[in-house]
Amino acid sequence: MVLADLGRKITSALRSLSNATIINEEVLNAMLKEVCTALLEADVNIKLVKQLRENVKSAIDLEEMASGLNKRKMIQHAVFKELVKLVDPGVKAWTPTKGKQNIIMFVGLQGSGKTTTCSKLAYFYQRKGWKTCLICADTYRAGAFDQLKQNATKARIPFYGSYTEMDPVIIASEGVEKFKNENFEIIIVDTSGRHKQEDSLFEEMLQVANAIQPDNIVYVMDASIGQACEAQAKAFKDKVDVASVIVTKLDGHAKGGGALSA
């Protein structure tokens, strides 16, 4: 619900410009206060909110504006531009290449929704005509393979895993090799959930990445942990080459704005 609530509050703040008879510094400050309050309530990092306010203020100089200019539209455009910068890093999103094997490795915290997200992404590519498969390299969580197996079977997606092998590096390597030989185009590898303070699990994640050489490492970010997202995302990025982020649980928590901090 966080995005819907945030959107409503920001829309309401911008609407106040239309209701104002005269656009002056007082009206601008009141509108910015509403926008910033909405962002802070959504748990967006205060540094980002402060930067947004400063950027809008520096872009809009009411005293220097010619009388014929549409001040309302210019202010709305400046706010919109800064909001877009919060969510768009300006980097082109990774896309798979047709005619080759694209290996996607998923990493993230325990309980962030990695396995479900893996299955959803595999189904997404399958619906688009890609030859897709799933590998469960999560040997840490009981029931991880059963969950992936159930999801894959329901969506009719080929899968690989083991009830006996406990080394995720071996499972991931064998699975990738098997599906490469069968000419699968999208090979998605699910790994164990881990925390930045668990050094051994972080080392294991690096070993899996080195063994399978993924084309894209996806960090699954749990929006419900708020601003703690930033430290966790940085820890994962420092260890492996995270190239993509998928944010989960945005619809069920008021702290989803914390994901923007990361």
Distance (Å, whole) CA 261 – CA 253: 16
Average pLDDT of the segment spanning 241-246: 87
Q: What is the pLDDT of residues 163-181, one digit of tens each?
A: 999 999 999 999 999 999 9
185 or 112, greater pLDDT: 185
Average pLDDT of the segment spanning 53-68: 78
* Structural domains in the chain plus CATH codes: 2-87 (1.20.120.140), 102-261 (3.40.50.300)
Average pLDDT of the segment spanning 193-212: 83
pLDDT reading at 88 higher than 90? no
pLDDT reading at 67 higher than 80? no
Strand order in the sheet with 159-160: 159-160, 132-137, 186-191, 102-108, 216-222, 242-248
Q: What is the pLDDT of residues 144-164, one digit of tens each?
A: 999 999 999 999 999 999 999
pLDDT reading at 87 higher than 70? yes
- For residue 14, the model assigns a pLDDT of 85
- For residue 262, the model assigns a pLDDT of 57
Name, of 56-65, 192-201, 239-248, the range with top average pLDDT. 239-248
- For residue 260, the model assigns a pLDDT of 63
